[in-house]
Structure 1
Amino acid sequence: MLRPYLPVLILLVLSVAQAVGMVVLSSVLSPGRATKAKSAPYESGMNPLGGTRERFSVKFYVVAILFIVFDVETVFLLPWAVSMRALGWHGFAVAMIFIFILTVGLVYEWKKGALEWD
């Protein structure tokens, strides 16, 4: 009864074994010498500027939200592009309305100065 799921089970076991194996191998084969630079908060070689409790500008959050919005747009438009012929003109019109609404939002944000870094 569960025979059709055997390949999925084998893939799951192999995936977990590979993930565990990589973690174990990296901990066994790594030099593991803790230095002052590796213990620092940033390994880039630069000393941190300011404290850790400083407030960020709202512009960082606006850019993050805009990134998420346009990332979600891509998630919706890729399946549409794959099945565009099957959807016909109705699917095309709905997608154009979706893109138009996103374009209006982008123009609004642009006019409000949300994308300016002064």
Structure 2
Amino acid sequence: MNCPSPRCGSSNVQLLSHYRDSLPPGSKLRDTYAEPAAAEGSYLLAVGLVILGIVAAASGTVLAGLAAIAAGLGWGAVIHRRVEDADRARAAWGNRRICLACTEQWTP
């Protein structure tokens, strides 16, 4: 595989993850080429809101219960989207290449 840059074309290409791992521990490039962070968040709050909504709806406050259920489902959808986006970014980073001659990066 050669560098796709029209000004380079070098065959000195490596996976970005391997290149980052080969850098010395104190190198600032380790942060520059770092893997994207995993998604922060927990489904616990979303599940708790849904359960609270079910209990509230069953005890007679139907409107408040439905609002809590909707909020829990909405929050769960937001968390799920963040997790999917982070996983997609991490997978793309794992497949990313870097040209060691011109530092061009790309995903084949």
TM-score normalised by L of structure 1? 0.35
Which structure: greater strand fraction? Answer: 2
Point out the structure with max Rg over C-alpha: 1
Q: Which has the higher contact order (CA 8 A, sep 6+)?
A: 2
